[in-house]
Structure 1
């Protein structure tokens, strides 16, 4: 397992621990984690709008660097979600990527 997945695993374990301490059931915890992906995507979308300056009230409120950081947040959040759902997340993701790439590359 590479360092990225080790870090993702540590984050997933920390969030699981936090939810257990709060008495949040596992299924609810996963549901909230999936919703977090949507929240992060919304922030990425907001950054694109800000980088393009399409909101006349806000103008150019973001940079493309902001967009990149928000997209990275989406990826991290999704990886944490997968790790919280599957103990074999790195292997599952690698196989899923192989299957997708075989169809599209």
Structure 2
């Protein structure tokens, strides 16, 4: 996972550098990056519509592999957004939020009679 966050951080720094060169304020950079998440989600939604062929002009135009690639693009964009907003602790912040959110849904494994969780 460290390699993933290393790459995410490099992407975040590259995009920030490009925006800084264009004199885009930090708040505007964050705003545009969050909107980029929406754009990527829209592409994933469009791919699902394409899988089901519900657009009468296009018919069946996508595969589930296309959907999965678009979902991955959405996840990458979201992580880059977080890294741009929290360049010093994005991975730790994400891990903290993930632990909090997942604790609401994941049930701890029951203990065995000898007290060892299984």
Is the pair's TM-score, using the shorter chain for normalization, greater than 0.5? yes
Q: Could you tell me which residue of structure 2 aligns to residue 30 of structure 1?
A: 30
Q: Which has the higher contact order (CA 8 A, sep 6+)?
A: 1
Deviation string 1:54-94 (CA, Å, 9 cap, x unpaired) is 11110011110000000000000000000000120000000
Secondary structure, counterpart of 2:104 in structure 1 = helix
Q: Could you tell me which residue of structure 2 aligns to residue 20 of structure 1?
A: 20
Aligned length: 105
Aligned-residue CA RMSD (Å) = 0.8
Secondary structure, counterpart of 1:56 in structure 2 = coil
Secondary structure, counterpart of 1:104 in structure 2 = coil
Structure 1 segment 1-105 matched on structure 2, within 5 A:
2-86=2-86, 87-105=88-106
Q: TM-score under structure 2 normalisation?
A: 0.87
Q: Gaps spanning 5+ residues in structure 1: where?
A: none
**Structure showing the higher helix proportion among its residues:** 1
- Return the alpha-carbon distance in structure 2 between the equivalents of residues 103 and 42 of structure 1: 28
Q: Gaps spanning 5+ residues in structure 2: where?
A: 107-118
Q: TM-score under structure 1 normalisation?
A: 0.98
